[in-house]
Amino acid sequence: MSNCPVMTTAAGNGIGDNQNSLTAGPRGPVLMADYQLMEKMAHFNRERVPERVVHAKGAGAYGKFTVTGDISKYTCAGLFSAVGNSCETFVRFSTVAGELGSPDTARDPRGFAVKFYTEDGNWDMVGNNTPVFFIRDPLKFSDFIHSQKRDPQTGMRDNTMQWDFWSLSPESMHQITTLFSDRGIPATLRNMNGYGSHTYSLWNDKGERYWVKWHFKTLQGIQTLTQAEANKIAGEDLDYHRRDLFSSIEKGDFPKWRVMLQIMPEQEAERYAIHPFDVTKVWPHKDYPLVEVGVLELNRNPQNYFAEVEQAAFEPGNLPRGMGASPDKMLQARILSYPDAHRYRIGVNYAALEVNKPHCPVHHYHRDGQTRFDGNFGSGVNYQPNSFDGPVDAAKYQEPPLKISGDADRYNHRDGNDDYTQAGNLYRLMNAEQKRQLTDNLVGAMKDVPKFIQLRQLQHFYQADPAYGQGVASGLGIDMKEVI
């Protein structure tokens, strides 16, 4: 007799035949009474949840974060109280614009989202493999993404939409230069850096706040694909990066990143020449050197892609005691939009799913809602304040007050903002081969775009660095005199 368990319906009733439908005679028709057939088809129809509007295609793995550098004077977070502390993590890498079945080797930023299951609750670092972003005001986010997705008439990706938006949004110059550089297509997910991108904060028991930027430096070394290599791979293996990550971990080759921090005392933000909460800018290392904090290692593959990777829900607002957000407008909007997307996509109780739930006790008064699959806090009191020993708030979790000022208004974020120096700095640090790749990649993406858009964009390249503008203009067969 076989050792396989007996197959059942979802209610546990044994199934006698999973090969033949229940029919009136051998030629049919099928009978409505075939409960098992109906259950099978109905469940199959509901197998998909809506894919993420952005970052749909991803790969994930579990790992461990170990603290190697002492930052306890900056934060009272339990995780950072001593060198040697550690916690489990779950990481999801992704492309941004492509759908679930899109090729891994597209030129696109890569999502680099890390969930740290700390003893004080989850800390989610929902970053990218680039230190900056295309826009700085969240009011432009849906416009930006529409321009990178599909044309409303043809249903196709369209370079004209992309460059139309970018050329009208000079704040995108820094990120465009990163995206079209050699680092715009990583060789593997293991061979790229991660960045928190936004400015976040740390705070300590003395009530002092520090602004910080998180960096994850690959210990496998940066390796990239040329556009030609990436195109070829895309035609052969859509899941190239996902496959590489899974098989590396499966064979015990565990990727690692050195986790580093730039730290700015709270008051310095008012004096620093670079707007410290502008996600289109970096803090140059000479101003704020990198401080080592820890090592992240990925060492375990998920057992079930849907349960663990597709249902993984990251939120930039998941910040344990001693850690906080910043006034960065994009970050503030993401603190709303991420949990909002999860509620829509996987349901209001998403945080209680195995991959999302903290590795520490959870006590709150949220109740009921769709797919309440745990005990719903049983008979416990469901309002607060109460006289029956329900959970209570505790002042020690409150962040130090943040001084803010100014009139409520819609301020032009482009007024007096330098969108070119840092993009130019990036161009200038590239060697000749990297500059050649950057120029070729841009020319390839812009060659079919209407000339008035090319000219508008060339002005931005020229302002970042005249040689940068000249190089792309030559590739497009445009005389720089027309641009200047």
Q: Which residues contact ligand NDP (rule: CB under 6 A)?
A: 131, 178, 181-183, 193, 217, 222, 282-285, 422, 425-426, 429-430, 434
Nearer to ligand NDP, 112 or 283 (CB): 283
Q: How far is the CB of 211 from ligand NDP (least distance, A)?
A: 13
CB of 286 to ligand NDP, least distance (A): 6
User: From the centroid of its chain, how far is CA 417?
Assistant: 26
Is residue 231 among the annotated active site residues? Answer: no
Compute the least distance from the CB of residue 438 to ligand NDP, in Å: 8
CB of 269 vs ligand NDP, minimal distance in Å = 16
Q: Toward ligand NDP, which CB reaches closer, 197 or 318?
A: 197
**Sign (positive/negative) of CA torsion 264, 270, 271, 275?**
positive
H or E segment to which residue 143 belongs: helix 141-148
Complete DSSP assignment for 79-142: GGSSTT-EEEEEEEEEESSS-TTS-TTSSS-EEEEEEEEETTEEEEEEEESSSS-S-S-GGGHH
Q: Please, what is the minimum distance in Å from the beta carbon of residue 285 to ligand NDP?
A: 3
Residue whose CB is less far from ligand NDP, 259 or 426: 426
Please identify which of the residues 122, 128, 301, 349 carries the catalytic annotation: 128
Nearest to 241 by CA among 88, 52, 112, 49: 112
In terms of C-beta density within 10 A (0-12 exposed, 13-18 middle, 19 or more buried), how is residue 59 classed?
buried
Shortest distance, position 480 Cβ to ligand NDP, whole Å = 24
- From 13, 20, 45, 55, active-site residue: 55
Neighbours of 328 (CB within 10 A): 23
Q: How many CB atoms lie within 10 A of CB 455?
A: 15
CB distance 196 to 393 below 8 Å: no
Residue 164, amino acid = D
The structure tokens listed for 271 are 């004096």
Q: Single out the residue of 38, 44, 8 nearest to residue 21, CA to CA.
A: 38
55 noted as active-site residue: yes
**For 150, which DSSP code?**
B
Q: Contact at 8 Å (CB) between 382 and 369?
A: no
What is the Cα–Cα distance from 140 to 355, expressed in whole angstroms?
Answer: 31
Q: What's the CA gap between 95 and 59, in Å, rounded?
A: 10
164 C-beta neighbours (distance < 10 Å), count: 18
Q: Quick one: 43 or 285, whose CB is closer to ligand NDP?
A: 285
Closest CB to ligand NDP among residues 37, 430: 430
Q: List residues with catalytic annotation.
A: 55, 128
